[in-house]
Amino acid sequence: MSERPEFTIRVDQNPYLPAGGREMHAIVTVEARSADADADADADADADTGTGTGAGAGAAGSDAAEVIIIDTSGSMSYGGKMAAARRAAKAAVGVLRDGVRFAVVAGANRPRMIYPQGERLVEANASTRRSAANAVARLDAAGGTAIGSWLRLANRLFEGRDGAVRHAILLTDGKNQHESDEELDAALRVCAGRFLCDARGVGTDWEVAELRKITSALLGGFLDVPDPKDLEADFLAMTRAAMSKQVADVALRVWTPQQAELRFLKQMVPAVEDLTGRRAESGTQTVDYPLGAWGSENREYHLCVEVRPGDVGRQMRAAWVKLVAPGSEGEAERELASGNVLAEWTDDEARSTRINGRVAHHTGQSELADAIQEGLEARREGDEDTATARLGRAVVLAREVGNEQIAGLLDKVVDVIDPATGTVRLKADVAKADEMSLDTRSVRTVRTRKDDLPPHTPPGAPPDEAGS
């Protein structure tokens, strides 16, 4: 049985503010490490999904439930997509751990159970995996697309599995045409916080914004799979990733002093995701942000808090971050790790104007994602001036943060005349798959190199917490 991972929190920041300064930025790195984890598990996690759902140490001792949802609408019958989906689903079932509860669902106008029969989960073992693979082999394509109803069925299947790592895989090849936006939004409100969902869009007829909305609400990630033959390897990676998770329903708890305002919290690694709107009050001056399930991995978060200015020389705690998880079987919640965000006012301009390396790096990555998405949207709307300006800015930022994958994808959308200044020209003909890949992967980030990292903030409380 694998041990649960040990968590640590590291805070990187420049704690010095100028006289009258209010805004403090910090990068909070959360690392979970199992005793039997591979040293490179966190790198594998990024490569697998881009959402922290990465393959790593085994999680044989953890309670888990998995639902695999395969789009079986009529459009899946073209281009080899249905045959590829069958192979992918069978591969995913084949790597489920013994004891994991699972089901396979077909999605069309209405969802239907493929395995087992009836709305229930079954325990994975050699017999049920074989039976599920046989059932998947009979999948065929007919009907429409109503993704909200598919997710509602998954939510019902997960009922009674509180405390387990609950994860769904969703595959689609098209737009959510057979239910309204309001119906999908309502389903997402029901499912949010109930389970995690990673999604894949196969081909080029699905909508990036739609899958982004779904996986954002369900704390997962999504990627494009232009060529159906790549689905099998992708499903294997996603399922192995899910099987590595050991701790469910982790939250980041943030305390701030009175009259301080938490401006935003964004996940930055392995992908940009704004968590600000997910905050839930959890106590006096504390709020919780859901972080989903964890295995052996690390993720990075950009926190910004506005504090009341103090006198020169004064030190205070601008925020106190804790990682918490629910207790098992009615026990009290567990505190997994903690760290401090500090503030000190100074009249030393050299100190107060220094920008922390990690903060600068992630600020650039957040702006890069925005620039790409805004540029592509302007291009679709025929606003060539805005598209050129924003995608040119993205070229500069991709170079600055060292995101070579994004730089390569930008080269397929614009002709780069001067990468240093961001002088570009929109390409006349861009393959839809290339545009979708750039949009989909715009939030994928790169870490700062370990040898470039500044010293981290010590965990001890500062000498002054006045105003709290």
- Among 40-49, 433-442, 450-459, top mean pLDDT goes to 433-442
What are 224-261's pLDDT values in tens digits? 999 999 999 999 999 999 999 999 999 999 999 998 99
Confidence at residue 467, expressed as pLDDT on a 0 to 100 scale: 45
pLDDT band at 36 (very low <50, low <70, confident <90, very high): low
In percent, the amount of the chain with pLDDT more than 70 equals 89
In percent, the amount of the chain with pLDDT more than 90 equals 87
Confidence at residue 450, expressed as pLDDT on a 0 to 100 scale: 53
Taking the C-alpha atoms of residue 367 and residue 390, their distance in angstroms, rounded to an integer, is 10
Residue 348 scores a pLDDT above 70: yes
Q: Give the CA distances from residue 362 to residues 20, 160, 268, in Å, rounded to whole numbers and listed in that order.
A: 25, 39, 7
The torsion defined by the Cα of 317, 274, 217 and 81, in degrees rounded to 10, comes to -140
pLDDT band at 458 (very low <50, low <70, confident <90, very high): very low
Taking the C-alpha atoms of residue 330 and residue 338, their distance in angstroms, rounded to an integer, is 23
The torsion defined by the Cα of 217, 222, 226 and 228, in degrees rounded to 10, comes to -100
Tell me the whole-structure pTM to 2 decimals. 0.91
Tokens of 179: 């239910």
Confidence at residue 203, expressed as pLDDT on a 0 to 100 scale: 97
What are 11-22's pLDDT values in tens digits? 999 999 999 999
Residue 89 scores a pLDDT above 80: yes
The tokens 């922290």 sit on which residue? 52
Confidence at residue 41, expressed as pLDDT on a 0 to 100 scale: 43
Confidence at residue 31, expressed as pLDDT on a 0 to 100 scale: 97
Residue 211 scores a pLDDT above 50: yes
Residue 454 scores a pLDDT above 60: no
pLDDT band at 59 (very low <50, low <70, confident <90, very high): low
- 124 near 239, Cβ under 8 Å? no
Residue 55 scores a pLDDT above 50: no
Residue 449 scores a pLDDT above 70: no
pLDDT band at 50 (very low <50, low <70, confident <90, very high): very low
Tokens of 61: 């001792």
Confidence at residue 58, expressed as pLDDT on a 0 to 100 scale: 52
The stretch 371-378 carries a mean pLDDT of 98
What are 381-406's pLDDT values in tens digits? 999 999 999 999 999 999 999 999 99
Confidence at residue 87, expressed as pLDDT on a 0 to 100 scale: 98
What is the rounded average pLDDT for all residues in the chain? 91
pLDDT band at 350 (very low <50, low <70, confident <90, very high): very high
Residue 297 scores a pLDDT above 70: yes
Confidence at residue 331, expressed as pLDDT on a 0 to 100 scale: 82
What is the arrangement of strands in the sheet containing 23-33, beginning at the earlier edge strand? 6-12, 23-33, 297-306, 261-269, 273-274
